[in-house]
Structure formats: structure tokens, C-alpha cells
Amino acid sequence: MSIESETDTLLTVDVGSVNTRACLFDVVEGGYRLVAVGRAPSTVGPPLFDAREGVGMAVGQLQLITGRMLIDETNTLIKPIRLDGSGVDAFAVSTSAGPSLRTVLVGLMPGVSLDSARRLAASSYMKVVVEVSLLDRRREEERIDAILDSNPHLILIIGGTDGGANASVLRLVETVRLALGMMPEDRLPHIVYAGNQQLLSSVSEILHGFPSVSLMPNLRPTLEHEDLAPTRMRLAEVISDLRSQHVVGYEALKEWSEGSLMLSSDALSRVVSYLCEVHAHDKGVLGVDLGASHTTIAAALGGQTHLTVCNDLGLGVSLPGLLKHRSISDITRWLPFELPESVVMDYIFSKALHPRTIPTQLDELYIEFALARELVSTALSEARLTWPSTTSRGDTLMPPMEPIVAGGSVLSRAPSLGHAALTLLDAVQPVGVSKLVLDPSNLASALGVSASLIPMVTVQVLGSGSFINLGTVITPIGSGRSGRPMLRYILEREQKGVVLDGEIKWGQLAILPLNQSEVGRLTIRPSRGVDIGFGILGKGGRLRVVGGAVGLIIDGRGRPLRLPSDPVQRTEQIQGWLWNIGVRD
Amino acid sequence: MNYKPPVTHVLPLTTIHREWVLPTPGTIIVRVNEQVYPHDIVAEAERPVRHVILDVARALNVPADLVSRHLLCEVGDRLTAGDRIAMGKGWLKRTVRAPDNGRVVAISEGRVLFEVLGKPYELQAHFPCTVVDTDGVQKVTVETTGSLIQGVWGNGKRDFGVLKMVAGGAGGLMTPDVLDIDLRGCVLVAGSCNQAAPLHQATELNVRGLILGGLSAGLISVARRLDYPLLVLEGFGEFAINQAAYELLKSNEGKEASLDGTPPQSYGYQRPEIIIPISSTRFQDIPEEVVPLSPGVRVRVVRQPHMGDVGVVRELLTRAVSYPNGNIARSARLDLEGAGSVSVPLANIEVIQ
């Protein structure tokens, strides 16, 4: 049985804080394909302060590329498609641009309900500015002052298992009410209550008269059970409302998309969940989006997708936030040359002032890659706090992930795919057998938002080669002295009938020739104490591997990756790795 | 190609409108068409400094639902420190008094929420100007004519003083030895600063402000703690002030300038800026905020290797340009003062106007 879709042509737009991308999908030879991508600077900020301008420019570029009219003479999207072929059948928008939601968390216990609320806040564009809890040592009036001073967009009240504490929760709600009573009407925040369900009518009564109060199912109905999904959906709407107020053009985009407007982070999460279903293996799937204002990590593990949005980590305005987590020497250690730390410090703060600028000099390019490594690695550390503890190996190693899909301007405009691959390898430090995939056009957002309109677009485009497969990565685990044998391999390239064999030493990063989509059989014989992922230390085996744009990568540098402390040795080491992965500056 | 880059104003004479807004509704002190001076107060509002919860029921030892019988004030009442809020009955007559000057904001469950009011929040005019509009409760719009120079970063402070060039030239390094007693009360202009000592020394001289081309990022926390406004015009590092801004500042040396060190906001209009009021008998144009990039437009480069260089657009290139580090970008050909004709990515260009 065939399923016919009434919708052939889909236009998606992703509005980021720096770039706006428009993607056109159409049916080609019986399946949905990406036809073209248009890019333009985002215009949510100065000088235009209207998101529609950037969207118009990106769609205008699509028109130039495809020769197809998408916007009419009145600057309105042509929808549905006309007989002359102009226009589109469907339009969807994802966005990460706009201010983060200043959020006050009010909860009973720091280790229970507040932990759940923190996880919820970390999964979206929310910035926790104040926390109030039962164990708070501040006096009630000091808590009120803290809430007032923080000028919040949102107050999220949680706490109390269903049927649990009553009086304590209501006392906290009463504190919130007193604070709300002193706020000007035009600055009243949204209130979301997601605590003890037996108190809904009492909470509703206490907060009666305040305009934006949402009563949601309990985030933590029992001590053991956490349910973030319903409140997360409500918060996505609150964020959308806030952005409608602060970003000109946002409301119009909502109207054009007829409600198909999604947060970019949720779109990435949806694609990662889908990939996890498709691969159906016992590993996880990882999605990384390194943006100018946020770094987003989506990890599908054990049937659940964990989303983390780091609002203080990005390669633009939020770049100085990295220094709260990492020192300058953590960043400079990735440079293939020596550079005074003050230069990198100046670079970080200047880039935050001019987030849309791009480097044209070699030293600046490598500073950006060094920053990208630390941003992703820091975001992963934050994200792993929310992952199930059973997935972390020895607390420091990544759980096995395949594929690892990464996007972001610094990676997609890298002068060579080797730069992108090495940056990802160093930042994520995958273990076992994995696959690195680059999302050069930020398609993950487009496909995530498409899934709600035309699910087949997501399914078919993901399998169509619009992403760049950088290569399969094999990362043995163990410990050995640099230069000592780690494993022997035999690679049979199926299509060319060529057999390669050789040895990988500890500390070596090797690239074996296996082209994009080329299939090979890899036989590995590890040394004693080396774990390839076959279940037992030192056990070898045979793997079917698929090549990539960089090749087949065997990363013998060990996990966690340790760099020489001597600066001269370290820069030589990094230059060597760059050379090995095919970078020829 | 219709590219509209960010615009930085470096204008010798223009009409400047600024809207001053109180954080909460208050009192507007000035009238429309009134002339005001930098330190004149144009509006003021009450400023709550903290809140105090007074447990009246417990203090008077009465049930919460009977507290209303003992209250001597209502919500909204203004009290001075020591005024009676509630008084018990009987021979002992326990009394609850206002802990400070302030007002009663809520009464609930036998408790009184008291807002302690501090010194009023005062909005100054910041520069000589005319009041052109007000909503009567919270906003005042003022207008002046003069020079306008926008910066990229400021330390959040504001002041007004006489411009004085120090450190010699647009790229001169600010060191302790360029500062002397003659600079007391002035707004200083220097190329860049990479040490904390001259910043602290300037505090001792009671300077009214400091304008720099570049500041070492390591000094940001020091700069934020200074009493006077510090404005950065180019970026973090050792950068000279761009030629257009430097010449304008130099030509106005000895005149009074208003410095607003408000840091830039991602989704806001405000930027750090210098306003040098100059009276004009003719109407001056209001600065344009959107200028499409096209041949002849004056621009500034905001990234190395031509950071801070000023020039004009010669041509918008139809083909993307490949740069020495391998990056490929849509670009423009610029004629830069002192550097000649160079290709620069569009993303690294700002319009100067």
C-alpha cells in the first residue's frame, strides 16, 4: 500500500542568533530530497530588529539558487503552491534566537524537586536567576527581595510528591504571591506550578488574580519518578510567548507557519530520538549543535532522549561564559602553536562583541577550533549530569554513541573536513566504534520541525546523504606507553578488493583510506589489556565498517585524551595529529 | 546583494534624541520645551531597598484573624521610622512600629509586609538638551545637537566632563606617566590600556571618564569597579582608536562631552556612546540606523588583520573570496586608509556613519 502525501514542497527556516537558514525540500524521484539551502545573517538584533528581514534574505537566496518564486511582490510567502510551480505547500520554522527566560525556581527540597526543576531548566532556553527552597536560610522578606531583584520572566513552582507535603508548599506559594503583589502589572512573570497535585485548588486560590498562571502535572509525582514532558511543552509555549514580545517578526513567523514553530533545541532532540529508533542498537545517539549563543546536546540513551541547552556556552555573545567553566590554559592547550594567554582572552571578549565575524587568519582559525573543543566538552560535562549514571564508564569516559551528529558554523565552514573531524574527536572523545556525521546546513533543526508536518521528509532526507559522513571512528580503551603497539589491523576494501594491514601504536591517530559510502571489513587484533568493545579486554574481532569523507579513523590516543604538559611537545603532537587527519595548512 | 551590516555612528553634527525611563512610575520634574543641563534631575521615583515582614499577630499575642482590629494603618500608607503600625489593648499596650521610612504594601494572615524606601531614584539629563516629550509618569525624551560617537563596550557608568587627549596619538598606550594633576576632572582619550595602574591612578585624579580604542580583556573586572565611565571604541586588545573617531575627538578637545558606558545588549538598541553637545541653528538630520552596503559607503573593519581600519566600499564581490586560513566568505573590496585595497568578509564590516 502506498501513502500519498498532499504536500510535496516544504520550506523550513531556522532563525539563529547569528545566522538564518532556509531549506527547500521537494519530491525528487519518488522521495523527499533537500533541494537547496539559503543562508543570511539573522536580523533579530541590530540594526534591523526584525526576524522577517533575515528570513526574507535567506528565502530570497533560495529563489536565486532554484529559480523558483517563493515570495510574492507583497513580500508574502506563496502558499499553497501555484500552477506555475511557484510557492510551497508547507512552511515550518525553528528558532533559537531571542533572550533566555530569566527563571526563578521555587521548590521544596534542593536534592529532589529542585533537582528536577534544574534539569528541566537546563533542557531549554532558560536561565535560572534565583532559587528558593524550604531549606533556604534567608528570611522570607529576603526571599521576596531576591525574587523582585531578579526581575523574572518565569516563576516555576515545584515540590511535594502527590499527597505529600502541603503546608510547606503553600507557604512557598504564599511567598511568591507576596512578591508578585509588588511587581508592576506590565512586568508580571508567567507562573507555572508543577507540584503536589492535591494542592491545585489551593494554589489556584492563592494565585487568583494574576494573569498568567499554569497548573501542570507534578514534575516529581513520587520520589522515584520524574515526569518533565508536560511542563516542558508548556515552557516551550512560554518561551515562544516571551520571544514574541521581544523579537519583532516572531509573531508573523508563527502565523506564516500556522503553528509549526518549534524551538531549535526541541527539533534537534526529535531528530536524535528518530536516529536512535532507526539504528536500534544498544549504543546511544548524540547530537551536538554549537551555536553562537547556546550549545545544545541531545543524547538518546536507553530509549530516552536527554536534552541540554547550555545558555552560557556559545561561540558568540555567550563565549565569555566558557571562562566560568574552563581556564585559558585549557583552551590554549589545543593550539598547534604557542600563543600568549592574553591574546586568547582578548579574542574571547572581542568575539562576544562581534559574534557574526569570521576569522581570516590562521591563528584565529585555530583559536576558534580550540574554543569549539572546550565549549562542546564543557556542554557534554553539563549534559552528562542529567544522563543515567549507568551509562558513564568510569565516570570520565563517554558512553558508546553512534552516530555522533554535529552542527554549528565553526564546524560547517571549517576549511577542511579534517579540521571538523579532529575538533569533534577531541571534544567528544568517543569510545569503541562510532561514526562522526557533520550537519553542514543545520538540517537537524529543519528535519526536526518537519517531522510534525511531513514525517516522511525527516525519514527520507536523513537517509539521502545531505549530511556529511566524516568517517567511522574506532577508539580502543586501555592504557599503554606512547609508541608501544596497541593493535594490528587488516582492512579489506570490498569494492576495490584491496587489503591493507598494519599496526597502530599508543598515541597514534591513524586514517585508513576508505572513501565515502565504501564498505570494508576490518579485522582487529588488540594487544593485551586493550578494549575494542568486543566484550573482553584484548579480544579482537571482525567489523563491517563504512568509510567517510575523512576515511576510517583509528584513534589510538587513549581515553581520556591526555596532552603533553611540555608546550613544545604538545604543539608538535597537535601538529602531527592535524597532519595525520589530512590537514595541510 | 542587499546586505545591511551593523551601523556605528561617528558623526560630527547630528540631532540626538534620547529617552530616559524611570524603573517604576514616579514624578516627572521637567516640562516639554524646558532647557536642562547635565546634572539636572528630570524625573524621580521611589526606590524600595528592602522589605520587612512584621508578624503583628505574634507581637501583640493575638490570633491572626483579629489583627485587623489592632491595625492603625492600611495598605499603601506611608510611614516614617517609628510610626505606629499596630497597637494592642489592655494596660500593657504592646506596639508594632515602622522599622524605617517606607510604606505598607500588604497585610495578610496577621502579618504586615513593609517596604523600606531609600533615597529616591533620580534621572539626570546627562547633557545639555531640551525636553521634547514626556508621558508624565515614567519617560522623558530629550533632544540635542552635537557630535555622536558610539563604542563597543562600556563599564556601565556615566558622567560629563572636558575632553583631553593623552598618551599621544590614536594608538598611544595609557601608562601612569601620561597622567598628571592637570587632568583632574577631565574625560581622557587614549589609544589602549593593558595595565591596571593608570586606571586606578585616574580614579585618584577624579577624572570624569576614559575613552580607549582597546582594553586588555584581563582588565574588564577592574574597569567594572571604577567610579568613572570607561568606554572602549574598538575591542579588547591593543587597538588604536579608528581614525574617524580619533579625528572627531581631537577636533573637540577642550569641549564638554557626555559619556554613557551602558554595555551593548544583544537584543537592545543601547550602545555605549559619547555625546559632545554643539549648538546648531539649523536642523540636523537624525542618524540612519540601517544603511545597505554599497560602493562609496564608509565602513570600518571589526576583525584582524585590519581591525579598526576605516575606508570606503569599492565593490561588492559577486564571487566568494578564499582567505589565507582556508575560510571562504562573501566579501567586499574596500579602499582602507593606510592599507590600500583589500577584500574583507561582509561579516567583518560595519558601516560608519
pLDDT in tens, B139-159: 999 999 999 999 999 999 999
Range ranked top by mean pLDDT from A17-31, A228-242, A352-366, A389-403? A352-366
Euclidean distance between CA atoms B87 and B56, whole angstroms: 9
Q: Which residue has the cell 502541603?
A: A166
Over range B328-349, report the average pLDDT.
95
Please list the alpha-helical segments (H only) found in A20-66. 51-66
Write the CA distances from A22 to A445, A536, B268, integer angstroms. 11, 48, 25
Closest CA to B141 of B38, B256, B31: B31
Please list the alpha-helical segments (H only) found in A257-387. 264-279, 328-332, 341-353, 362-384
pLDDT beyond 70 at A4: no
Which residue from B113, B218, B329 is facing A178, i.e. has the nearest CB? Answer: B113
Q: Give the sign of the dihedral formed by CA A82, CA A88, CA A91, CA A95.
A: negative
Which residue from B2, B217, B267 is facing A45, i.e. has the nearest CB? Answer: B267
- How far does the CA of residue B232 sit from the closest CA of chain A (Å)? 11
pLDDT beyond 90 at A454: no
Split at pLDDT 50, 70, 90, the class of A46 is confident
What CATH number does domain B298-352 carry, 3.30.70.2860, 2.30.30.30, 3.40.50.800, 3.40.250.10? 2.30.30.30
- Encode burial over B17-52: b for 16+ CB neighbours within 10 A, e otherwise: ebebebeeebebbbeeebebebebebbbbbbbebbb
What pLDDT score does B1 carry? 62
Over range A435-462, report the average pLDDT.
88
Euclidean distance between CA atoms B98 and B104, whole angstroms: 9
Domain with CATH 2.30.30.30 in chain B: 298-352
- Encode burial over B167-203: b for 16+ CB neighbours within 10 A, e otherwise: beebbbbbbeebbeeebeebbbbbbbbbeeebbebbe
What pLDDT score does A392 carry? 46
Domain with CATH 3.50.30.10 in chain B: 9-44+128-277
Instruction: Give the whole-number percent of chain B exceeding pLDDT 90.
Output: 86
CB A57 within 8 A of CB A254: no
| Cell reading at A326 | 574552563
Tell me phi and psi for residue A97, to 5 degrees.
Answer: -80, 150
Under CATH, what is the fold of the domain B48-117? OB fold (Dihydrolipoamide Acetyltransferase, E2P) (2.40.50)
- Tell me which chain B residues have a C-beta less than 8 angstroms from the C-beta of A182: 48, 51, 105-106, 113, 115
> pLDDT averaged over chain A?
90
> Comparing A233-247, A358-372, B4-18, which segment has the lowest mean pLDDT?
A233-247
Which of A43, A102, A202, A350 to mutate to probe the B interface, most B CBs <10 Å? A350
Q: Which value does ipTM take for this structure?
A: 0.92
CB A298 within 8 A of CB A268: yes
How many C-beta atoms lie closer than 10 Å to residue B54's C-beta?
21
- Inter-chain CB proximity B267 and A247 less than 8 Å: yes
Per-residue pLDDT tens digits for A296-351: 999 999 888 999 999 999 999 999 999 999 999 999 999 999 999 999 999 999 99
Euclidean distance between CA atoms B214 and B229, whole angstroms: 15
How many C-beta atoms lie closer than 10 Å to residue A292's C-beta?
26
Q: Which residue has the cell 571604541?
A: B233
pLDDT beyond 60 at A390: no
Write the CA distances from A486 to B122, B219, B245, integer angstroms. 72, 48, 61
CB B67 within 8 A of CB B94: no
CB B316 within 8 A of CB B293: yes
CB B51 within 8 A of CB B45: no
- Tell me which chain A residues have a C-beta less than 8 angstroms from the C-beta of B58: none
> pLDDT averaged over chain B?
93
Euclidean distance between CA atoms B191 and B215, whole angstroms: 9
| DSSP assignment of B299-352 | EEE-STTSTT-EEEEEEE-SS-EE-TTS-EE-EEEEEETTTEEEEEEGGGEEEE
What pLDDT score does B265 carry? 83
What pLDDT score does B255 carry? 96
CB A516 within 8 A of CB A437: no
Tell me phi and psi for residue B253, to 5 degrees.
Answer: -55, 135
Range ranked top by mean pLDDT from A216-225, B264-273, B303-312? B303-312
What pLDDT score does A259 carry? 79
* Interchain CB contact of B304 with A (< 8 Å): yes
pLDDT beyond 60 at A1: no
Over range A80-99, report the average pLDDT.
90
User: If contacts are CB pairs under 8 Å, which of residues 218-247 in chain B contact chain A?
Assistant: 218, 220, 235-237
What pLDDT score does A568 carry? 95
Split at pLDDT 50, 70, 90, the class of A41 is very high
- Tell me which chain A residues have a C-beta less than 8 angstroms from the C-beta of B192: none
CA angle A210, A215, A219 (to 5 degrees): 135
- How far does the CA of residue A71 sit from the closest CA of chain B (Å)? 16
pLDDT beyond 80 at A190: yes
Which residue from A182, A342, A361 is facing B216, i.e. has the nearest CB? Answer: A342
Euclidean distance between CA atoms B210 and B196, whole angstroms: 13
Euclidean distance between CA atoms A407 and A134, whole angstroms: 41
How many C-beta atoms lie closer than 10 Å to residue B319's C-beta?
8
CB A262 within 8 A of CB A92: yes
- Tell me which chain A residues have a C-beta less than 8 angstroms from the C-beta of B235: 346, 349-350, 353-354
Over range A107-126, report the average pLDDT.
88
- Inter-chain CB proximity B326 and A44 less than 8 Å: no
Euclidean distance between CA atoms B262 and B155, whole angstroms: 7
Quick one: closest CA in B to A409, which residue?
B327
Quick one: closest CA in A to B49, which residue?
A145
| Cell reading at A158 | 515545584
What pLDDT score does A391 carry? 47
| Cell reading at A282 | 544498544
Quick one: closest CA in A to B152, which residue?
A353
Closest CA to B299 of B285, B286, B315, B284: B315
CATH class of B9-44+128-277: alpha beta
What pLDDT score does A225 carry? 85
Look up residue A89 and give its DSSP letter: S
- DSSP-derived pairing of the beta strands A401-407 and A284-290: parallel
> Comparing A96-110, A151-165, A383-397, which segment has the lowest mean pLDDT?
A383-397
pTM for this model (two decimals): 0.93
Per-residue pLDDT tens digits for A509-541: 999 999 988 999 999 999 888 888 777 788 888
User: Side by side, which strands form the sheet with A485-493?
Assistant: A498-505, A485-493, A519-526, A541-546
| DSSP assignment of B275-301 | EEE---SS--PPPPS-----TT-EEEE
Give me the half-sphere count of Cα atoms (radius 13 Å) on the Cβ side of residue B140. Answer: 31
| Cell reading at B11 | 558623526
Per-residue pLDDT tens digits for A129-160: 999 998 888 999 999 999 999 999 999 999 88
pLDDT beyond 60 at B103: yes
Please list the alpha-helical segments (H only) found in A280-335. 328-332
What pLDDT score does B90 carry? 75
3-state secondary structure of A211: coil
What pLDDT score does B22 carry? 94
- Inter-chain CB proximity A343 and B323 less than 8 Å: no
Domain with CATH 2.40.50 in chain B: 48-117
Q: In chain A, what are the domains?
A: 10-95 (3.30.420.40), 101-244 (3.40.50.2300), 265-580 (no CATH)
Instruction: Give the whole-number percent of chain A exceeding pLDDT 70.
Output: 98
Over range A259-286, report the average pLDDT.
89
- Inter-chain CB proximity A47 and B220 less than 8 Å: no
Q: Computed over its alpha carbons, how large is the radius of gyration of chain B?
A: 27
pLDDT beyond 80 at B95: yes
Cis before A403 (ω within 30): yes
Per-residue pLDDT tens digits for B208-249: 999 999 999 999 999 999 999 999 999 999 999 999 999 999
Range ranked top by mean pLDDT from A125-139, A364-378, B11-25? A364-378
Quick one: closest CA in A to B346, which residue?
A357
pLDDT beyond 70 at B14: yes
How many Cβ contacts (< 8 angstroms) between chains A and B? 141
- DSSP-derived pairing of the beta strands A401-407 and A432-439: parallel
Euclidean distance between CA atoms B242 and B300, whole angstroms: 8
Q: Which residue has the cell 566484550?
A: A535
What pLDDT score does A80 carry? 87
Which residue from B109, B289, B327 is facing A415, i.e. has the nearest CB? Answer: B327
* Interchain CB contact of B64 with A (< 8 Å): no
